[in-house]
Amino acid sequence: MRTIHLLLFGILFFFLCSSNEDPLQKRVIDRLTSYNRVLPQEKVYLHLDKPYYQPGDTIWLKCYLVDAINNLPYQARV
């Protein structure tokens, strides 16, 4: 999966660096944008209060769900 993301990033970077406005470039960018809109990537961050726990310890945690593109809190689209 990581290879696919790197490949897509490389293709997008190549097209963005080219100076002329190409219909293929626009089509690729539009498709990548619509793909991200339909299937947004998310990251989950889990913060715990200590690195190790013993049986009977209370686990304190905080969880964050962020948008993978800009690392802002994820806004659910219901």
What are the tens digits of pLDDT across the range 30-75? 888 888 888 888 899 999 999 999 999 999 999 999 988 888 887 7
- At 26 the pLDDT is 84
Rounded Cα gap, residues 30 and 74, in angstroms: 22
Map out the domains of the chain as residue ranges. 1-39, 41-78
- pTM higher than the cut 0.85: no
Residue with tokens 């470039």: 25
Output the six-digit token pair for 39: 């299937």
- At 63 the pLDDT is 93
Among 73, 76, 3, CA closest to 45: 73
